[in-house]
Structure 1
Amino acid sequence: MNVASLELCKELYELSGWTGTHAVWHDDTTLSPLACEYEDITVAIHFTPAYDLGYLLRKLPAGTNVVSTGEDYHCWYQDGDAVSEVTDDYGAGADTPEDAAAKLAIELFKLGLLNKEPYE
């Protein structure tokens, strides 16, 4: 399974609260822990979700597209009313489609077009 890079996953997790479908366990205590109960003890587990392309596309706004340019990948989202031709385009490029989608999600969070979800 291909997933976005660890650094992009860390940044996106902090912005989004998305838990993803895969996880990479780590010792980075700067990230928010997930509290888990185990045998009547609450333990803080540190992990970074590993986002695959399918998960990212399900979380990104409808109409998000990913294309290969032959050398890299570009992911974009067009926000607006196509009938009135008033649109804003947002995009990101990367070496993998997963990284391109993660970069776009990060940009949309920073612009306030996506909102952080509570931890699942």
Structure 2
Amino acid sequence: MRLADQEHMSEAAESDYGGFTPSSSQTLPEPARMSISSLVSQNESDRKEIAKLIERVGKLEKEKSGLQSALDELKTKLTQTEEERDASQAAYQRTEGDVARVRADYETALRLFRGTRGSRKD
């Protein structure tokens, strides 16, 4: 690398770091170390929070799965209940028809019986 390029990079680094040029042999000033320490601490705190959120999402997904299964079961029971209701209504209508026929037969028999009794008296 040319000397002019090195000087230019050195000047750019000094302006980027406020006159402080970091190198591997230098340590950071105290405020920077505190800032890094607080960032590391915040990073750990964030990681713990993320882990808790991931765990919570897992629990919610399991709960959702359980609720979905319960919903599917209820839908199946509802369908069965509707089918049973329809069958029951059909049976009731058949029974109503049977009752109407028996009533008509009874009334016919009663009229015939009364008519027969009346003709004997003659």
Q: Which has the higher contact order (CA 8 A, sep 6+)?
A: 1
TM-score bracket relative to the smaller structure: under 0.3
Structure with a larger share of its residues in strand: 1
Higher Cα Rg: structure 1 or 2?
2
Normalised TM-score (structure 1): 0.16
Normalised TM-score (structure 2): 0.16
